[in-house]
Structure 1
Amino acid sequence: MLAESAPDTPARGIGNGFDLIGDVHGCGDLLETLLEKMGYQRRDGVYTHDARRAIFLGDLIDRGSHIQKALEIVRTMVDAGTALVVMGNHEAHALKHCLGHGGRGFTMPRAGGRSERVMFETLQQFERLPTLWSSYLEWFLEMPLCLEFEHFRVAHACWDEALLRPFLAEHPDGRIDRRFLAAASIQGSPEHRVLDRTTRGTQLRLPRGEVIHSMDGSRRSVFRTHFWARSPQTYGDVVFQPDPLPDEFEDHPLSDAERDRLVHYERSQRPLFVGHYWCEGIPSLPTANVACLDYSAVRGGRLVAYRFDGEAALEAGRFCWVSAVE
């Protein structure tokens, strides 16, 4: 299990402050602006802060127009010890698509399939750089699924204690390998459950074959759910996405089976930082110990950070952001 002292000790001169940064999705220019706004300076090609360290919440790739730039910024920071990063569902998707089932690194998705939509920008921007893309895939495999410190936790989408505690007992650094990746391709396997839950969270299926027309242009028969409602009764109590539910389902009662599939993160637990959920508007806190930092930067929203200094109760005034459209 990762702790504040080891194995990822801060680079010399960096203090105990952390700047947690939400889903970049290829917005490399916006990332530079945010880092500079928070006082990071580029020294010898690496963004560094004299007293703080960044933590990226995954989903560095796909959709944006400066994916290679975003990856270069984050990777150089991680390599230099001025940042940490966890795996997002888009990195996990790239690994399963390009390395899973014997993939050789650069594979074009099936025409018209979901992978083509999701990975189009990434593979197009790396089309003439297959060796570089392969090196990033290997780097994705080194990303931990989660980080746990004395005073806070980090995961891309969800912290499910029942799944992560056994995983961390076997993988103290939070990292997976090719064997784990292969096993995660089997629906319902322990590896699949850990990878899917941590990077994609929990979802519920709409009844009667209803679909949601998502903001990314796809049709979905499931909706994303959050994990802090104490006694949820309806779909509206747990939905966590900008795509609205069909009107008739906002007050649809949760069945016992659906409630059992949800995860609850107790308010007594240490602060948790996630991305993933396409929030909109001015950054806010759903609870005093949960912060979501994905504010749809690649869709014209905000690239958001939270400046954490060990506080037990999170504070809305610690958000920092830059807007994609000024």
Structure 2
Amino acid sequence: MMNPVDLIGDIHGHATELKRLLISMGYERAGLGFRHPDRKVVFLGDFVDRGPEIAEVITIARAMVDAGDAFAVMGNHEYNAIAFHTSLPNKPNQWFREHSDQNRKQHQATLDQLSPGELKDAIAWFQTLPVTLERDGFRVVHAAWRDQPISVIDRALQSRGRFTPEFLAESERPGSELHAAIEEVLKGPELKLPAGHKIVDKAGHSRDTVRVKWYEPPNGRTYRDYHFGSDDVPDLAIDPVLLTGMTGYPAEAPPVFVGHYWLTGTPLPLAGNVACTDYSVAKGGKLVAYQWDGEPTLSADKFQWTENGCDAPSP
């Protein structure tokens, strides 16, 4: 049994809140990172973009991982950053993630805060991050634990290299199996809304798809009660054809921890063996950790958090 772990959700450049949360859980400064005598951290990805202290967040997280005081998985923002900064073969001014206004806006805080050298170094580290972590009775993934898509990603990493141009050429090709797998695992499964229906998501974008509660069985559900979020979703039955492969996360499976979903309010488990630790620190919310001590059934009283905007601790 490995040390008990503290699973920390999307930090998005909020180093002040990260330091406060670590100190509140008994971690102390150790070089550039933090260390606990009995516990380790698991970072759930999304270190970059949005927040004001991106370089410091990367420094702390990377130092802790390198020292064996933490583990980390990739978030969709790390994946996006790799694609944004990797040029197409023989096309140095074209990129696997288009430098559109929308994509640049999402990534702008990172572009503003990191030097070209720091960006290059960060991207190289992101490429080493695993997409999933499974050990000693628990699982970690940024958005959704989906066995078949995870297998697709693992095979591609082995055959094409770790987020190499060869990997990205396939993962960024709409309609490919690898593209669909990356979308599900790092961004969450989505369902297309019925014709004529659209929603405006939390980022203000108009969408004709909704994220769904992939950890729950979908049978008999409507779009409104199966979607993940607080959007104005129609209370209409879901076409069963769209639910192929959606079976929920088995109740007997190991606890799984995710980030990604911009939740609000008081942290609670999503299911007996599913917890999300992204509570919107980059939108004035909380930076949240779940303190896991080996329990198979997750509990609300194991969440710890710090609010955005409080005074910083003495590191």
Same fold (TM over 0.5): yes
Which residue matches 1:65? 52
> What is the match of residue 256 of structure 1?
240
| Partner residue, 1:11 | none
Give yes or no for the alignment of 1:286 onto 2:270. yes
Structure 2: distance between partners of 1:143 and 1:104: 25
2:117 to 131, 134, 137: 131
- Residues 296 and 303 in structure 1, CA contact (< 8 A), matched pair in contact too: yes
1:85 equivalent to 2:72? Answer yes
- Aligned-partner SS, 2:257: strand
Q: Distance in 1 between matches of 2:133 and 2:46?
A: 16
- What TM-score do you get using the length of structure 2 for normalisation? 0.89
SS of 2:18's equivalent in the other structure is helix
Q: Indicate the residue corresponding to 1:114 in structure 2.
A: 102
Equivalents in 1 of 2:130, 2:51: separation in Å? 23
Q: Is the 8 A contact 2:4 2:38 kept in 1?
A: yes
Aligned counterparts, 1:74-223, within 5 A: 74-102=61-89, 110=99, 113-126=101-114, 129-165=115-151, 167-168=153-154, 176-178=162-164, 179-223=166-210
Residue 98 of structure 1 contacts residue 106 of structure 1 at CA under 8 Å; is this kept in 2?
A: no
Instruction: Check conservation: 1:295, 1:302, Cα contact below 8 A.
Output: yes
Q: Secondary structure at the match of 1:196?
A: helix
Please say if residues 105 and 137 of structure 1, whose CA atoms lie closer than 8 Å, have aligned partners that are also in contact.
no
Equivalents in 1 of 2:197, 2:49: separation in Å? 27
Q: Secondary structure at the match of 1:142?
A: coil
Q: Unpaired runs of 5+ in structure 1?
A: 5-14
Distance change in 2, residues 1:184/1:139 (3 Å): same
Paired residues of 1:64 and 1:121 also in contact (CA < 8 A) = yes
CA distance in structure 1 between the partners assigned to 2:77 and 2:196 by the alignment:
26
Does 2:253 align with 1:269?
Answer: yes
Write the distance in 2 (CA, Å) between the matches of 1:133 and 1:276.
22
User: Compared with structure 1, are the counterparts of its residues 105 and 48 closer, same or farther at alpha carbon in structure 2 (3 Å cutoff)?
Assistant: farther
TM-fit CA distance, 1:315: 1.2
What RMSD in Å do the two structures reach over aligned CA positions?
A: 2.4
Q: Which of 19, 29, 33 lines up with 1:32 in the alignment? A: 19
Q: Contact conserved, 1:272 with 1:291, CA < 8 A, in 2?
A: yes
Q: Is contact 1:26–1:64 with CA below 8 Å preserved after alignment?
A: yes
Aligned residue pairs total 304
